[in-house]
Chain A
Amino acid sequence: MIGAGYLLITALIWATIIAFSWGLAKYLKKVYENEKTFLDKILNPLENFIYRILGIDRSKRMGWKEYFLSLFVFSVFSAAISFVVLAFQGMLPLNPMKFPGMSWSLALNTAMSISSNTNLQHYNGGSSLSYLGQMVGIQFLQFTSASSGIVVAVAIFRGFAGKRDNNRNLGNFYTDMVRTMTRVLLPLTLILSLILIGLGVPQSLSGYSLVRTISGSFELIKVGPVSSLVSIMQLGTNGGGYYGANSANPFQNPSPITNYIELGAMMLIPTSMPFLFGQMLHKKGEGRTILIASYGLYAIDLAIALIPLTTLGPGMETRFGGFSTVLYTVTTTAFTTGSVNTALAAMHPLVILAAFLGMMIQATPGGIGVGAMYMLMYVIITVFIVGLMAGRTPEYLGAKITANDVKLAIIAFLAHPIIILVPTAIAYATGAVHTIGLGKGPVGFTQILYEYTSAAANNGSDFLGSTGNTVFFNVSTGIVMWAGRFIPIFIMLAIAGRMSGKKRSTEVALRTDNLIFPAILIVSILILAVLTFFPFLVVGPILMHLEGIRNAL
């Protein structure tokens, strides 16, 4: 009876989010195809004012190289602004708690982490960040990394949709970014922030207060601009919390209701991307394929995590109970958000295994914008494999997929294991693992592998927390996070640029808009992930699980 209740709640959440996402996608199409919306009267003058400040030609359309370069240089500048604020917050205003600036390596790690949509946190925000640090150091980058993800997806969709003039039809980076802020992220976060405040999440700039508790000891009430941060960290699949304990902290996530709202918030925009893809292509079936494949993988992930029947235990929060904790952990890795409402060390090895799968695949449905991008990468690899088996030239959306397209997709795919496994090996070889007190066994290995997997997948959940605050881990994960962010984006924009110029045939050799193709896609993704990562999962969470069984005998 209770098992059925849990499944019913999950089904209700999925149905609600899919319905909302479908509606959102219709609105997003209007935003990115410059159609009229009800917000035009207020927003057009504001946007024109911003365009004048930027000094840009808004009618200009960009090719993939210019689009990428603009995004990359913009990301460097925004990370630099955050770095300065974090490193020098001690001398800056809005610091009633008088927190000192971060060390250079921690400020660097944090700026690279938030700007790459990872939000790996080697700091405890509640006890080390000023209000300015939380607002301009963190929230600002959570907005820009979220909108970067969306505009990359939109640019790639435009390329895949083809038509228009050769190679210059990925859109205009500046107008895409500005419109994403003014028309999508700011309105959604404003609504969500106010709902969360009403449900108990604090929003204040008046400083921490010291009170005497009922037993006479002293307690700091750590209120700040929490709700405005939580809303963008969830909607933008960022995951970097206001407090060290992230979404387990009652100020960030006070009740079961806020837990489900925050859970749904991280699913909303990534789920709308497949619908947007279908609508921009005027081929809804192609969008459906992406949606079914990503939710199919999400379901498999969840099924693995639910095998152990987790009940409330140490390292969890009473108000969430066992099931919601597992559902949140799987969802936060499946959507590569990385906020956590539990202590990961308390989770069953099979839940950790499911978390690894989500971060290794990155398209289940994956992070904001980039999840759909990774799914298109898998589609290209899959049509190639199917083409080989059928002895035909691979095609997607009527365009021929050439050897170079496949090579690019494979490079994007292989970048992921390389930037996970090479740094993991270096961390062991240099002894960096032992300096933070982790041993050689499967538990220590799982934690280090998880650290780099989470960094590479731009997820951000981790075991280490502030114990990872060493120069080695700050710098190495910083590099991994930016490589994990920008290498795949560079390659997929290149593929989109190539796709945009291709001739489209109306004859269809391999249908990708039916119900069989998503099934093939899921199988091929699982095979690719398992072939790549299985040996490392065996010596990590799988060995932990087997040891657990042996110890129970």
Chain B
Amino acid sequence: MKKGNLISSTLRLALVLAVICGLVYPVVVTGIGQAFFPYQANGDLAHLGNATIGSYLIGQSTNNSHYLFNVRNDSASGVDPDITVSSALAQARVIHNSTNISIAYLDSLIHNNTRYSMFFFGTAYVDSLSLNIQIINHFHNSIAVYGKIYDRVNHH
């Protein structure tokens, strides 16, 4: 094979594949993904009222408040939304003391949202953002602090 042919053919192959793999493929996947799984494809967005307040997959700091569950801040991603069940149970006591929300309600919330790192065993954990949103939705009319948070988000 002549050198000229090799250079022109390999260059063309690189350009063709850049278009197919770099443009056509991700755009096609985006089209199908948006059509069939719009919620997941756009990042599992979480809402309070009409406002988008984040993604269920991305943990949110609550500034060490005693009214809501706090995320851990030493994870690998830095945005891990999940906390262990033992940490959640301990935090539930703090939340109970600050807000008078019953321990029974908080414990059952944790219990109902528990998942495991190995499907049915391993680390038991809960999504802190999901718990917080459920608490806010449950109490936003009855407890001042959640009303305030709810209002702030709604007015934004």
A residues contacting B by CB (< 8 A) are 2, 5-6, 9, 50, 53-56, 60, 62, 66, 69-70, 73-74, 77-78, 80-81, 135-136, 139-140, 143-144, 174, 177-178, 181, 186, 189-190, 193-194, 197-206, 209, 211-217, 219, 221, 223, 225, 227-229, 232, 243, 245, 248-251, 254, 256-257, 312, 314-324, 340-343, 346
Contacts and interface: CB of A to CB of B under 8 A. Distances in A.
Given A193-B33, A321-B122, A249 B79 contact: yes
A139 B26 contact: yes
Contacts of A213: 53-54, 60-61
Contact of B75 (A53, A62, A80, A315): A315
Contacts of B83: 318
B144 interface: no
Given A9-B118, A136-B23, A248-B76, A204 B30 contact: yes
Contacts of A186: 20-21, 25
A4 to B, nearest CB: 10
B42 to A, nearest CB: 6
A139 B22 contact: yes
Given A174-B13, A181-B20, A204 B34 contact: yes
A466 to B, nearest CB: 14
Given A245-B78, A256-B117, A323-B122, 9 more contacts: A74-B13, A139-B21, A201-B40, A215-B60, A215-B61, A215-B65, A228-B30, A245-B76, A315-B75
Given A55-B12, A202-B41, A212-B53, A228 B123 contact: no
Interface in B7-42: 7-18, 20-23, 25-30, 32-34, 36-37, 40-42
A174 B40 CA distance: 37
B6 A70 contact: yes
B153 interface: yes
Interface string B34-67: 1011001111110010011111011111110100
30 contacts: A2-B121, A54-B12, A66-B1, A69-B6, A81-B15, A139-B26, A140-B17, A144-B17, A190-B28, A193-B29, A194-B32, A197-B41, A198-B36, A200-B44, A203-B30, A204-B34, A215-B62, A215-B63, A216-B152, A221-B54, A223-B42, A228-B25, A249-B79, A316-B76, A317-B82, A318-B72, A319-B115, A320-B123, A321-B123, A342-B76
Nearest to B65: A215
B-side interface size class: 35 or more
A226 B92 CA distance: 35
A136 B12 contact: no
B79 to A, nearest CB: 6
Closest 5 CB pairs between A and B?
Answer: A321-B117, A140-B22, A321-B123, A136-B22, A248-B76
A150 B23 CA distance: 22
A66 B75 CA distance: 49
B73 to A, nearest CB: 9
Contacts of B77: 243, 245, 248-250, 317
B132 interface: yes
Contacts of B32: 194
Contacts of B8: 55
Contacts of B103: none
Count chain A CB atoms within 10 A of each CB in B54, B58, B116 and give the residue with the most: B58
